[in-house]
Structure formats: C-alpha cells, structure tokens
Structure 1
Amino acid sequence: MEATFREQLFFIVLCLSVLNGDTRYIQENEITPEGLFSLLNSELKREIQDELIYSRPLRCLDMVALEGQFTFTADRPQLSCAAFFIAEPNRVITVEYDDVDIDCGGGDFIKVFDGWVMKGEKFPSSQDHTLPLMERYVDYCDSGTARRTVRSSQNVAMVFFRVHTAGSSFTLTVRKPVNPFPCNIISQTPEGSFTMVIPQQHRNCSFSIIYPVEIKIAELSLGHLNDFHIKKSLPGCVGAGDFVELLGGNGMDTSKMLPVADLCYNFNGPAQMKISCDNTVVRMVSSGKFVNRVAFEYRLLDRQELQRIKGNSLEDFCLTG
C-alpha cells in the first residue's frame, strides 16, 4: 500500500556517539509519525491551570511544547536519548539545568543543541546560523554552573543526554521568552500564516513547514521599488542581495534543499505554489541594507492533491514510491 503523506514525513530517533568528549556523529533510526509527532500533539493539548508550574517526567525520546519543569530519572542505562523543544514562532527557548545527578566522569552527559537535528541534518543550517556548529552544543559536564541557563536562537532546541546508571536524574526548567524579530522557525502546525520581518540585518532566515503544503505569498517588500518577478528553479535572484526563495526537500538542512522559486521584486497580491516535499521552506536572504518583509499563508495538501502533483513531471521531484 502506498504511504500516506504523514508516512512520507521524516522518521527519526537520534542515536548519539561521543568522541573525545565532543558530539561528532549523529545517526538516526526510525520512528513512526504516531511516535514523535504524537508527542507534540499530546503536548499541545495539555493546559496549564492557575499559576502552578507545569511539570512532568521527561522521556528518553520526547517532544516538549510547553513551559515547565521536566525531570528525567533513569530506570536503566540510557545511552541515546534526545528531547525536542519547540515554541511558538515568535518565541525562543531557554533551558535551565536543575538538580543534576549524573556521572560526568563516567561518560554521562547532557548537551543542549541550538536548533534541531533530524535525519543527520541540522536546522538552522550552518549557512543560516550565527554560531559555528560546535559552539551550538552546550555540555553541562563542560560548563556546569558556569552556564546554568542556555538560550536558543530560534523557536526550537534539543537536549541530548546519556546516563549509564539507574537512578541518575536531572530536571530541566523550560521557558519561552518573546523574540521580537523571529528568524529561523519550525512551524508547529501544517496550516497557518506568518509575516517575517528582517530589520536591516545581514542574515538569512527560514520558515520551515515539515509537511507538503500550498504556500500563498500575500506580500513581499524588499526595500526597493521593482515589480514582482518569479523565476521557477532559476538562479535569477542570487545577485539581487535581497530575495526570498521557496525550497523543497525531504531533509532539514536548507543548503541541501531544492530551489522551487525565487522572488526578488516587490509584490502585493496572492501568488501560490504547491510543494509536495516533506519539508517546505520560505527563506529570506537579506543584505542588511533594507527592511525586508514577506507575508504568507500555508495549508496542508490532501492526498488527492499529492496524487495530481505526482503526475506532473515538473513538480514531483520530492515524491517517492
């Protein structure tokens, strides 16, 4: 039987090995959509009542979408664990270490990663993040109380951890402060709208939707007065310095994704495109000379739409099977 669009999404469990105390290799196993994303769905359905701090146990493989305290207690050795943290698009994540009882000298570790790692690929990509890759990892065993709280650069972060002894434990306090100028975002949902504004900063910002979707660009303002222009799968906007590109792919690293369209001229009015990939990205490249703005909506493609796209040889580069 042909896989549904959800079955075509990435399947991940992170398996971690450590070389000379550093995170060098990240591998993946498989998890069904009922695994990782059901964790997110159940998390989003929870409610925090009154002013009590929400708390629950942390699982070896987990998805956390709420503020609160999360405690992991090992009932046996756990050598390859990862917790995914996600916030609303206009927020970042802070992770504070509390009550840590692990054996750093015996090979245990807790490492916060600034972003997500999926299928061995990283979001944001190295091209779009301000820190070198290894500085995006913060190891409790290296920093200890010197860096008790770690703050992400975007609305997602991860914690890798390994413990060798039953009874080892730690508690993380997670908060989601507001980010006035969000950059590099993973959407919590397959449908919604967003306006990305880059205020005269030389940086690249991506909005990632881990579903096959239809993108509708409602407004594009790049600080100059040219007419709208769209070039499908052509590098016509690279020399503009400021432009938006639509990307599609089955991984997370935007530098490895396929260009679907370039938009490098101002535009008001709907322009839409259906992208059948597991991951659809709206990426803005900014020279820092202008205030750039793009507003868009997105919605999940249904099965019939995916079947129609698959029959079009010009647009089915992300569909398999």
Structure 2
Amino acid sequence: MPFGFAALQQGHLLLLLLFLAALEAQSRYLEVGDAGDEEPFLLLNAELKRELSTEGQFYRRALRCIDMLSIEGQFTFTANQPQLHCATFFIGEPEEIITIDFDFVNVDCQAGDFLKVFDGWILKGEKFPSSLDHPLPTSERYVDFCEDGRIRSSIKSSQNVAMLFFRIHEPGNGFTFTIKKKPNIFPCNVISQTPTGRFTMVIPHQHRNCSFSIIYPVLIKISNLMLGHLNSFHLKNPSTGCGGVGDFVELLGGNGLDPSKMFPLADLCHSFNGPAQMKIGCDNTVLRMVSSGKHVNRVTLEYHQLDQHEMENRKENSLEEFCPSSI
C-alpha cells in the first residue's frame, strides 16, 4: 500500500500543528507545541517524493528547527543563531521501523544544549504509543546525549514513528545523522501517513496492545476480524464492553494523540467476516487491539477521510457527535 503526503489537506494538519509549542527549559520529559510559521508536514510533498525516487541517489539536506522526515538520507543541522525550541518528527511506512545513526555531534551540554531521541511521538503531554501500549516506561523511551555522554551507534524505534528534540545556543554548533528504515514483520503501533488506506494487523501469540492511528475524521471499514475465539459488534456501553474477553478490538476517537485519553466508541469482542463500517468524525481515530497472548489475532481495516458532504450527512452508525472540542 503506497503511503505519501500528496493528498493531505492543510485543515487536517491541525492535530499536530496546534500542538507544536515551545519546549519547557527544565522539563525532563519534553513535549512540543506552537511551531510558528514552520509547517513540517507541508515539506513532504509530491515534488520531494519524485526527487527522491532517482535510482541510486543518497539524499542529503539541511535540517530545519521544526522538521518532518519520511525518507532515508543524511541530515545536518548547524545553528546560525540560538535555536532553543526544535524538534524533528520521523515517520515511516506502517511496516517499517526507523534507525537513527549520529555521524557527528557538536553540542555544549554545559551551556544548556540538549539532544534527545524519543521512541514514538509526544505532543502537548500526549504520547503515541501510549504508556499502556509501549513495553518501556516513558523515562526509558528517551536516549539523552547529554546524560549518557555519547550517542549510541544506532538508535532504533519500536514503531514507524520517532522524534528528536534539540536545543543549541552557540551559532556554528550542530550535528549530523543518517536515517535508515528497516522492515517490521509484525507492526504493532502505527500512525498512518495518509488519509486513505488499507492495513492488516497481526499479533501472533503475544501479550500486548497495538494501535493503528489515523489523524483524520474517517469512514472506517473492518472487513475481517480473527480473535481466536465467534460474532458481535456493538456500541460501547461503559458498564459492559467486552467483559472478561481477553482478546478484543476497540475503536477510539478524540482530538489528541494518546489512545489512552480518547473516547471509547465501540467494542468488537468476537471474530467475524465483515464488513463492519462506521463513520467517525474525530480529528484522530484509533483502532486498538488488546491481545492476551493465547491466540493469533488479526484484523483488516480500510479507511478514507470524510469529505465535507459525508461530515454533514450523518447516518445511524455515525459517531461524529462523540467528538466535541472538549475531548
């Protein structure tokens, strides 16, 4: 399934762009907010994709203070003035993980510079994957150059997204890193690059929770669900849900990034051959699979971004009313 940013609509970049704000100087766990005039997602356009398609070309360019990278290559940041609130978002295909190799680092930790890699995305205090779905505690999801005294030869993400936070005071200081991508046989937590797509998630006898996040209002269709144990689909009632079932899928919606802070919309407690279709008008829609490790669980979903007509034309299975701006 091809993934790219050519179909992005600027209005639906708000989920991330509204969260790009200044990094707190003394914060142990960093977050990002207002990016000012920079819009990193707009850098990933069709022209750049075509430029990178040249066979045998190794891509190099300067890194911006606020940036988004979806391709392999070497990137260099050199401060021409104090840069105090910088972050880079990395995103790959759903079936990829990201490796970051630092080739050169010249930062002054004693002067207050820092350089940190985060395993996932963290925006305005909300994380993806959530703390409930990632195998490591939040503190261990950071690799901190200034604390460790050196950068590991290769930093590897657990999913298709990662982040770099940095602050540099002295003009002329900076760093260079190389991005590579590697296949992930069983992708677990994924942020979709595109507003339209198809994806199959498989969890093979593993006790873990996996989320597929779509940062658009979408029509989502689940065409197949195999949970290792037979047929039910119902709107979620907080007092019931899937009860004691150890393996299930839930649909979540909200206007933030962290699945654990989203509104529960529906539970899928038993296997079925679909389609089961729902229209969800939230800024962010998440399909989350909870697995006990006793079965091989599998779900296939298709989705497309709701257009204005679909947003206005509510149907019985529309859940857009569950996503007020207060969520």
SS in 1 for 2:165: strand
The equivalent position to 1:191 in structure 2, one of 192, 196, 213, is: 196
Instruction: Report if aligned partners of 1:221, 1:294 keep a CA contact under 8 Å in 2.
Output: yes
Question: Which is further off, 45-54 or 118-127?
Answer: 45-54
Quick one: structure 1 residues 45 and 113, their matched pair in 2 at CA, closer, same or farther if it must change by over 3 Å?
A: farther
1:253 equivalenced with 2:235 (yes/no): no
Return the letter of the residue paired with 1:273.
M
> Residues 10-57 of structure 1: CA distance to partner in whole angstroms, max 9, x if unpaired?
4232422243xx62353522668x823212336545424232321111
1:41 equivalenced with 2:45 (yes/no): yes
Quick one: structure 1 residues 314 and 178, their matched pair in 2 at CA, closer, same or farther if it must change by over 3 Å?
A: closer
Provide the residue aligned with 1:304 in structure 2: 309
Instruction: Report if aligned partners of 2:35, 2:66 keep a CA contact under 8 Å in 1.
Output: no
Distance 1:67 1:233 in 2: 45
Provide the residue aligned with 1:126 in structure 2: 131
Shift of 1:227: 2.0
Instruction: Report if aligned partners of 2:120, 2:159 keep a CA contact under 8 Å in 1.
Output: yes
The equivalent position to 2:236 in structure 1, one of 219, 225, 232, is: 232
Return the letter of the residue paired with 1:17.
E
SS in 1 for 2:322: coil
The equivalent position to 2:66 in structure 1, one of 31, 47, 61, is: 61
State TM-score, norm by structure 2: 0.89
Distance 1:210 1:74 in 2: 32
Report how many aligned residue pairs link the two structures.
Answer: 315
Distance 1:260 1:296 in 2: 16
Quick one: structure 1 residues 124 and 31, their matched pair in 2 at CA, closer, same or farther if it must change by over 3 Å?
A: farther
> Residues 171-196 of structure 1: CA distance to partner in whole angstroms, max 9, x if unpaired?
01111100111011000000000000
SS in 1 for 2:182: coil
SS in 2 for 1:248: strand
Distance 2:36 2:277 in 1: 32
Shift of 1:98: 1.3
SS in 2 for 1:316: helix
Provide the residue aligned with 1:317 in structure 2: 322
Quick one: structure 1 residues 309 and 117, their matched pair in 2 at CA, closer, same or farther if it must change by over 3 Å?
A: farther
> Residues 286-321 of structure 1: CA distance to partner in whole angstroms, max 9, x if unpaired?
000000000010001001211234999964122549
Shift of 1:101: 1.1
Provide the residue aligned with 1:200 in structure 2: 205
Return the letter of the residue paired with 1:49.
T
Distance 1:300 1:247 in 2: 16
Question: Which is further off, 296-305 or 38-47?
Answer: 38-47
Quick one: structure 1 residues 147 and 182, their matched pair in 2 at CA, closer, same or farther if it must change by over 3 Å?
A: same
The equivalent position to 1:15 in structure 2, one of 1, 17, 22, is: 22
1:284 equivalenced with 2:267 (yes/no): no
Provide the residue aligned with 2:92 in structure 1: 87
Quick one: structure 1 residues 57 and 155, their matched pair in 2 at CA, closer, same or farther if it must change by over 3 Å?
A: same
Shift of 1:230: 2.6
Shift of 1:251: 0.3
SS in 2 for 1:135: helix
Provide the residue aligned with 1:168 in structure 2: 173
Distance 1:304 1:319 in 2: 19
Distance 2:217 2:283 in 1: 5
User: Percent identity between the aligned chains?
Assistant: 58
- Counterparts of residues 267-282 of structure 1 (less than 5 Å): 267-282=272-287
Instruction: Report if aligned partners of 1:14, 1:81 keep a CA contact under 8 Å in 2.
Output: no
Shift of 1:275: 0.5
Provide the residue aligned with 2:182 in structure 1: 177
Instruction: Report if aligned partners of 1:109, 1:163 keep a CA contact under 8 Å in 2.
Output: yes
Alpha-carbon RMSD:
2.5
SS in 1 for 2:12: coil
Return the letter of the residue paired with 1:227.
N
Return the letter of the residue paired with 1:287.
S
Return the letter of the residue paired with 1:23.
R
State TM-score, norm by structure 1: 0.91
Quick one: structure 1 residues 31 and 297, their matched pair in 2 at CA, closer, same or farther if it must change by over 3 Å?
A: farther
